[in-house]
Amino acid sequence: MGKDFSTLENSNRSRQPSIHEVSQMRRQCLRGGAAGALATLLAPLAGWAGGSASGALLGFEPIAPSAADRIVVPPGYVAEVLAAWGDPVGIGGPGPAFRQDAGNSATEQALQLGMHHDGMQFFALGAGRGLLALNHEYTDEALLHGAHPTDAAERVRKSQAAHGVSVLEVRRQADGRWHPVRPSRYARRITASTPIALGGPAAGHRLMRTAADPAGRRVLGTFNNCAAGRTPWGTYLTGEENFAGYFH
C-alpha cells in the first residue's frame, strides 16, 4: 500500500487494552495452555515404543525460497487465476468487461471484483459448486484510475467501489478447473457506499447514531477489509483495519 501509519494517532480512546496488548496476552495464554496440553498428551506416551517411525506426509516436494515476482508451486502443481480485480461478479448478467487502460467507470467497478483480495471464505453449495466471499482491502490509485481525466468526484466513487466485499459463485467444470458462474443470483458487491442495516445490540445504540441516521440503525459501506472467516451460523464475517488512514 505504501502508506505510513506510524505517525497516526492512537485510535483507541477507551480504557480497554489495545489490540497489541490483547494479542500479547492471548499469545502468552496460548503458549501456557499449549505447554500444559503437550505435557498431558506426552504423559501416557512416555513408555510407548513401537509402530511406524515415519508419519503421513502431504506428498509434495517443498519449494525453495524465492524472491521472484511470480507464484512458485511444487512440481506437479499449477496456479491459475480464478477471480482477478475487474472481473465481473455476475450481477444481473455477464457484467462489464475489465478495461486494461483503467477506463472502467465507478458504476462498472461496482459490478466488478474490487482490488487487492485479502481474507476470503468458501461456502459449499454441493459437490463441485459454492460461493467464494472475499475482501478487497485497499486500492492502488494509479492503477485504478490510470491517466483518464475523470473528475475528482468520479475518482472517489470508483475508489469506494473498488473496496469492500464480493460474493462470487464458482463451479468445478468437467476438466477439474473452477470457473465463476455469470450471471448468478448469489452474486453480490458490498462497497464503501453500500447501505447496511445494523442488527443485534448495536442497532440503535447511541454510539451508532450519526447526523445521517439519528436512529443509529443504518451505516454506509465497509472498507480496508482484512481478516475474514465463517461464523458458527454459516455467515461471512469480515473485519476492517487501519480505518484511521481514511479519516483525518
Bridge partners (DSSP) of residue 166 are 134, 189
With respect to residue 42, please indicate whether it lies within any of the assigned structural domains.
Answer: no
Work out how many domains the chain is built from and give that number.
1
**Interval 176-188: pLDDT, tens:** 999 999 999 999 9
Q: Which domain holds residue 97?
A: 85-190+223-242
**Interval 215-245: pLDDT, tens:** 999 999 999 999 999 999 999 999 999 877 7
Please report which confidence band the pLDDT of residue 47 belongs to, taking 50, 70 and 90 as the band edges: very low
Distance CA 182, CA 85 (A): 16
**Interval 75-84: pLDDT, tens:** 999 999 999 9
| Three-class SS of the chain | CCCCCCCCCCCCCCCCCCHHHHHHHHHHHHHHHHHHHHHHHHHHHCCCCCCCCCCCCCCCCCCCCCCCCCCCCCCCCCCCCCCCCCCECCCCCCCCCCCCCCCCCHHHHCCECCCCEEEEEEEEEECCEEEEEEEECCCCHHHHHCCCCCCHHHHHHHHHHCCEEEEEEEEECCCCCEEECCCCCCCEEECCCCEEECCHHHCCCHHHCCCCCCCCCEEECCCCEEEEEECCCCCEEEEECCHHHCCC
With respect to residue 235, please indicate whether it lies within any of the assigned structural domains.
Answer: yes
Please report which confidence band the pLDDT of residue 26 belongs to, taking 50, 70 and 90 as the band edges: low
With respect to residue 131, please indicate whether it lies within any of the assigned structural domains.
Answer: yes
The amino acid at residue 220 is L
With respect to residue 212, please indicate whether it lies within any of the assigned structural domains.
Answer: no
With respect to residue 95, please indicate whether it lies within any of the assigned structural domains.
Answer: yes
With respect to residue 59, please indicate whether it lies within any of the assigned structural domains.
Answer: no
With respect to residue 139, please indicate whether it lies within any of the assigned structural domains.
Answer: yes
For 85, residues 6+ apart whose C-beta sits below 8 A from its C-beta are 98, 112, 113, 114, 115, 116, 117, 136, 162
pTM attached to this predicted model:
0.76
Cell of 179: 470457473
With respect to residue 123, please indicate whether it lies within any of the assigned structural domains.
Answer: yes
